[in-house]
Structure formats: C-alpha cells, structure tokens
A and B are shown apart, each in its own frame.
Chain A
Amino acid sequence: MLGFTITQWMFGILSFLAIMFALMVVFSRNPVNSVLYLVLTFFCVAGHYLLLNAQFLAVVHIVVYSGAIMVLFLFVIMLMDLNQEKEPQKTWLNKLIAGVAGGLLLFVFVGSLKGAEQLQLETYGASQIGLVKNLGKVLFSEFLFPFEIVSVLLLAALVGAIMIGKKEIR
C-alpha cells in the first residue's frame, strides 16, 4: 500500500485524527463540544499507546481520562450551565497574538529537531515492557516510595476538593 506498512498507516491516521480533534477542542464555541472532542483526542492517544506496545497504559489512560476526568469536566460544565451564547470570546488581536506565539514556539521546537539522528522504533510486537507483570515489577520495587507518596497526594486532593467545594465550613 504505497510503500507503507500497516503500522505506519495506523500511525498516520491516528496522528491526523488526534491533531484534528485537538484543534476542534480549542476552536469549538460550545464547551460541551470541546469536552467531547477532548474525549476523542484521548482515544486517539490511547491508540498510539497500543501501537507503542504499552497495552496496560492504554487501558489505564482510557479509564482514567475518558472515564473519570472527562465525566468530571462534563458535570461541572452542566452545573455551570455554560453554552454557546454565554461563551466569552477574546478579541481578534488576542487570538492572533496567541496564534503567532504558538507558531513561533512550534518553529523553535521543530527547528531543534533539524539534523537530529533518525532513530527507529524497532520493538513492535516484541517489546514486553508494557504488560502488567513487568510494569508492576518496576513500580513496586524501584518506584515504591513515589507510589506511596502519590497515594498521600491523592488523599490530600480528595480532602482538599471536598473542603473547597463545601458551601460553608463549620
């Protein structure tokens, strides 16, 4: 097929979709549409994880991002009753400045890649590090302490969110 392998086709299609949906997140007027496009972007990124042989990470990504975080966003948007008419817009000058600044940043990043060595990802289908067994081994031996710290962080965030969200604190 035009000299490309199936993996390369998948990579191209997923990249195109991810970039398109990411652009729609930024440019759609209705916040609810933005959230839905963001979910689609996350699915595309999960597809990239699958291509990269990070199967467990792909599943966790879908569960955590598309499942938990996006539902939270949707609920907050619905509670706030935001819609297209109430959506505040920046002036055209501000948008132009943002676009130019982003474009220049992209130029710098891509420019720094010029002349870089072309390293190939050769481990497709052979790499086993994305499986639960291997990730668990690393997570619970080398990174045990950060893992425990993250549990404290999540507990603190939980308590903090409830405290902030309460109407009055007695």
Chain B
Amino acid sequence: MINGISINYYILLSTVLFIIGAIGVMARRNSIIIFMCVELMLNAVNLLLVSFSTLHNDATGQVFVFFIMAVAAAEVAVGLAILSMIYRNLKTIDTDVLSKLKH
C-alpha cells in the first residue's frame, strides 16, 4: 500500500453528497433545482460504483456507470420537456402550486 485511500472515505463522501441531494429535494420548491439535486444523488451513486470497481479491479461497475449516465440523460431530457410545458401552461414551476393531484 503506497497511495491507498480507504474505501470507507469514498463511502463517506458518496453518502454526504447523496444526503445533500436529498436535503435539496426536500427543502427547495423550484422544480429545476429539485431535478439538479436528483442529478447530484445519481452522481454520488456513480462515484461509489466506480470506487468499488477500482477496489475489486472489475470493470462491471464502470459499465454500470455508463448505463446510469445514459438513463440520467434520458430522464433530464424528458423531465425538462415536461417542466417547460408546465411552465408554458401555468407560468410557474413552484412545486407547492403544482399540487393539483392532491385535490
């Protein structure tokens, strides 16, 4: 072991990034910011997958990260299209206003 960093630090870093994303989803009302926080959570998981892939010297984890990136790109494209359509119709993307499904 020359340069080694314990895997636990990577787990901690990913956990903290994930929690920050989760807090953002819970604490913000702007739908776009919520989307960005979801991206942050996806990135935390990606980082964890890559670190475990390096730990086990196995490429499978990195291939999984590719697939997650593709799914994230698709999700963002469709999600932002939906948001822009909502904005065109209602002139707002405030999640407290967009709660018609409750009633």
Contact = CB atoms under 8 A, between A and B. Distances in A.
A23 interface: yes
Interface in A145-169: 146, 150, 153-154, 156-158, 160-162, 164-165, 167
Contact of A22 (B17, B50, B67, B72): B17
Nearest to B77: A161
A119 B7 contact: yes
Size band of the B side of the interface? 35 or more
Interface string B1-32: 11111111111110111111111101111101
Given A26-B28, A53-B54, A90-B29, A35 B22 contact: no
A129 B80 contact: no
For the residues of B in contact with A, the DSSP-based class is helix
Interface string A99-142: 10111011001100100101111111101011000110011001
B32 to A, nearest CB: 6
A157 B78 contact: yes
Interface of B: 1-13, 15-24, 26-30, 32-33, 35-37, 39-40, 43, 46-47, 50-51, 53-55, 57-60, 62-63, 65-67, 69-78, 80-85, 87-88, 93-94, 96
